[in-house]
Structure 1
Amino acid sequence: MSSVLDVQLFISAFVTLFVIMDPPGTVPIFLALTSSMTRQQRARAARQAILVAFGVIVGFALFGQSVLNYLHVSLPALQGAGGLLLLLVAMELLTGKLDNNEALEGTQGNVALVPLGTPLLAGPGAIVATMVFVQQATEPPDWVAISLGVVLVHICLYLSMRFANAIHRVLKDSGTLLVSRIAGLLLAAIAVQLLADAVLAFARG
């Protein structure tokens, strides 16, 4: 199995992106943005948002290296920047800044594309994390692990939005809030680890 899939890298990529993109945490935001839509329109919005987010993530995964080379940015610098970005997102999750959706409720246009697809789903944290994993991939099993992790996270995101009403009824407001806080704590730990790895890499260099 290890010759086909790097299990450790898959778990790392899946957990990291799951925590960053936070499928349970998208439920209240998705419900707020699609409150005036019918059931069919809400289902279509979920599909569109996932396609946009997946396209953005894959685009940066494929061409991120070329951008880094053009800008002469090293992997440790990317890891450090990614750690700082993830730490900011974690602080917002822990302090509840992402829970205020008043500004989103008045959004005009196709909310499935902006702001739901990007930057709420495919935001800076998810983009940088994906690029860091791609930078570390050297063999086919690594690419399979990263690809599978990205796809599964997007499937989880789609399911959480597709069945947002049912999930919200089960978790309630307090349950969704608890999940967001736990995700913020885990994300903060991942961010600190990225920063530590970046500092060690600079020290060795």
Structure 2
Amino acid sequence: MLALFISAFATLFVVIDPPGCAPIYAGLSAGASRRQAIIMAARACTIAAIILVIFALFGENLLGALHIELDAFRIAGGIMLFMIAVEMVFEKRTQRREERAEKIKAHNAETPQVEDVSVFPMAMPMIAGPGSIATMMLLTSRAKGSEETLVVLAAMLSVLVIAFAALAAAGPLMKVLGDKVEAVITRLLGVLLAALAAQYVIDGIKASLL
């Protein structure tokens, strides 16, 4: 069980990428007070948790209703995760997040109130995005029995707790780390994610050929 927890935790940590979300959230919540920033961070992680739990528990039934084989989803999910990994390595993911941040900041400049970014873009697609949804479905599909499923869910909640801590401390954290360190961390996570994505594709192809 411990090995499963560590594996699921590491996979979800790489996909959700709390260190990568933190600097973007710092930009999105720049006009908010400390209390508002923490409340939005908590709301974003809570909504993301609900989305991921729903897909983890009922995603396979949804695939069945659409007549999609799980092995096909494994391959498709692996390819999608690999594409995300490439974006992380070449900083395209960060650039896209920054573009979203600039758009919302520009909108905030036109309105006096602080815009709530907890649902969009933080909860979805930044935290509970296509990659993390696919990963949760793949991890729970591999789980044998309710105990292993609970272990996967516990790993997911642990990652989201870390994500909340990173978002809540986003402003002070970025002052300490700086942009260069954040870029290095994101690229390293991208390389690890690429390897994990390749393994998903290999597993899907193996299972479909047997």
SS in structure 2 at match of 1:37 = coil
Unpaired runs of 5+ residues, structure 1, are 1-5
Residue 31 of structure 2 corresponds to 36
Say whether residues 1:90 and 2:71 are aligned partners: no
Q: 2:207 pairs with 189, 197, 201, which one?
A: 201
Q: Which residue of 2 aligns with 1:158?
A: 164
- CA shift, 1:199, in A, is 1.0
CA contact (8 A) 2:19 2:182 kept: yes
Give the SS at the match of 2:58. helix
Structure 2 residue 110 is matched with structure 1 residue 104: no
Indicate the residue corresponding to 1:182 in structure 2.
188
Question: What TM-score do you get using the length of structure 1 for normalisation?
Answer: 0.93
Q: Which amino acid aligns with 1:80?
A: I
Report 1:53-202 matches (<5 A): 53-100=48-95, 101-107=98-104, 109-202=115-208
1:170: Cα distance to partner?
2.3
What's the offset of the Cα at 1:68?
1.1
Structure 2 residues not aligned, in runs of 5+? 108-114
TM-score normalized by the length of structure 2: 0.91
Find out whether 1:19 has 2:14 as its counterpart. Answer: yes
- The Cα of 1:11 is off from its aligned counterpart by 1.2
| Count of paired positions | 199
Q: Which amino acid aligns with 1:138?
A: K
The two structures, once aligned, show a CA RMSD in angstroms of: 1.2
Code of the residue aligned with 1:136 in structure 2: it is R
Partners of 2:10 and 2:159 lie apart in 1 by 9
CA distance in 1, matches of 2:130, 2:27: 22
Q: Aligned-pair distance for 1:9?
A: 1.5
